[in-house]
């Protein structure tokens, strides 16, 4: 018998055991946290006060802590939060208000800088490497391309569309710019920051939207539609218009748009749609074209947004309800340290190993299937 064989087997077993224990320890130390920026429903402080609220996803979405933030007007009153994004690579969190962009350190929770921008700020998006932010002005003519480290403006892009919602694709190649007063989506090369095309003309002015992981399709809320439209990001054509069945289109309390909130589950099997007037989230089978309406879920207030956990287990409408994607059941409600119901349209997941951020989700319900 070869005497080296038992020793080799012992070495392999020991190495595998160490690998298993290391992986188990890493999993035990990993924390999935939901970051919720407030005031995230207009400037209403009754839905969670002011700051960034952190919730522990794997422990019933229980409240963890409140991070103090800037974003105050001249009288010390909190400004409306307009957007949230983060980069695990650079360990930074960003919150925009109607006037300012604030940069925070994800490890220490400290504010690194806050800058006011010409024309104000709206819902921004960060590049996958964490180096660039596309920051829309507040429904004005232009987007600022911002150095995410310093906050300095590198370039202006001026579609003159009333700058509003913004998505940089998961591969960092293109950015998608939706103006509040435009029926077309502007597409840019996210490296040169030059306009490379448009999508549409959609049936009305574009509101919230999302894109799939391969960046071939965009799903759009548009004014006066209880439903959504689908655009082809390659050809620029509008492909489908889908209207909600079985519900009446009524006047929403906010946004003036019947469906203000749309997202794809990360696996892109379902599309979730907000219905403000009826206080519903409508779910569609997105594996067929056009997507097929399959279920509706009542939520506790008027939804104006929806996004998902990175792994696709949970859906987060802006109402503060937490919904299990697999079962379509309500499983939790976000509440702050005082037991108040928390609501926000500006929220996202960030995961940590120990104190170090390892991955960041997105405020938009982006498809992640490539």
Mean pLDDT of 269-278: 98
Residue count of the chain: 370
Mean pLDDT of 308-337: 98
**Looking at domain 29-360, which CATH architecture does it have?**
7 Propeller (2.130)
Is the pLDDT at 238 greater than 90? The verdict is yes
Instruction: Indicate the pTM of the whole model.
Output: 0.92
- At 98-155, the pLDDT tens digits run 999 999 999 999 999 999 999 999 999 999 999 999 999 999 999 999 999 999 999 9
Could you say which DSSP state residue 199 is in? E
Mean pLDDT of 60-73: 93
Q: Torsion angle of alpha carbons 8, 14, 16, 17, nearest 10°?
A: 160
% the chain with pLDDT above 90:
90
Is the pLDDT at 289 greater than 60? The verdict is yes
- pLDDT recorded at residue 18: 58
- pLDDT recorded at residue 24: 46
- pLDDT recorded at residue 2: 57
- pLDDT recorded at residue 72: 83
- pLDDT recorded at residue 13: 53
As a whole number, the mean pLDDT across the chain is 94
Q: Torsion angle of alpha carbons 49, 52, 58, 63, nearest 10°?
A: -40
Is the pLDDT at 364 greater than 90? The verdict is yes
Structural domain boundaries in the chain: 29-360
Is the pLDDT at 217 greater than 90? The verdict is yes
- pLDDT recorded at residue 23: 46
**Helix (H) or strand (E) segment spanning residue 14:** helix 4-29
Q: How far is CA 60 from CA 56, 143, 301, 323, 355, in A?
A: 7, 38, 21, 12, 20
């Amino acid at each position: 018998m070869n005497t080296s064989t038992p020793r080799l087997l012992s070495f392999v077993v020991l190495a595998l055991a160490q690998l298993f224990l290391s992986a188990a320890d890493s999993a035990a130390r990993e924390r999935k946290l939901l970051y919720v920026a407030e005031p995230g429903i207009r400037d209403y402080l009754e839905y969670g006060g002011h700051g960034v609220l952190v919730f522990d996803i794997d422990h019933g979405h229980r409240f963890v802590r409140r991070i103090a933030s800037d974003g105050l007007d001249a009288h010390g009153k909190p400004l409306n939060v307009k957007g949230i994004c983060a980069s695990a690579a650079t360990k930074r969190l960003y919150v925009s208000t109607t006037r300012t962009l604030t940069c925070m350190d994800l490890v220490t929770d400290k504010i690194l800088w806050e800058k006011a921008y010409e024309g104000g700020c709206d819902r921004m998006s960060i590049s996958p490497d964490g180096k660039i932010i596309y920051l829309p002005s507040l429904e004005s003519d232009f987007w600022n391309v911002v150095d995410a480290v310093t906050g300095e403006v590198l370039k202006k892009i001026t579609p003159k569309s009333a700058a509003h919602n913004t998505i940089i694709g998961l591969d960092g190649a293109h950015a998608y710019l939706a103006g509040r007063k435009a029926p077309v989506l502007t597409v840019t090369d996210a490296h040169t920051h030059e306009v490379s095309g448009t999508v549409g003309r959609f049936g009305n002015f574009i509101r919230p939207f999302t894109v799939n992981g391969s960046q071939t399709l965009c799903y759009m809320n548009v004014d006066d539609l209880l439903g959504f439209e689908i655009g082809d990001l390659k050809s620029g054509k509008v492909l489908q218009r889908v209207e909600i069945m079985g519900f009446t289109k009524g006047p929403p309390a906010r946004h003036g748009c019947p469906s203000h909130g749309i997202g794809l589950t990360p696996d892109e099997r379902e599309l979730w749609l907000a219905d403000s007037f009826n206080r519903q989230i409508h779910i569609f089978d997105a594996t067929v074209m056009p997507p097929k309406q399959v279920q509706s879920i009542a939520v506790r207030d008027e939804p104006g947004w929806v996004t998902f956990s990175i792994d696709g287990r949970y859906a987060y409408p802006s109402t503060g309800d937490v919904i299990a994607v697999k079962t379509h059941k309500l499983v939790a409600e976000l509440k702050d340290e005082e037991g108040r119901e928390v609501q926000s349209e500006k929220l996202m997941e960030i995961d940590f190993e120990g104190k170090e951020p390892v991955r960041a989700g997105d405020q938009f319900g982006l498809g992640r299937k490539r």
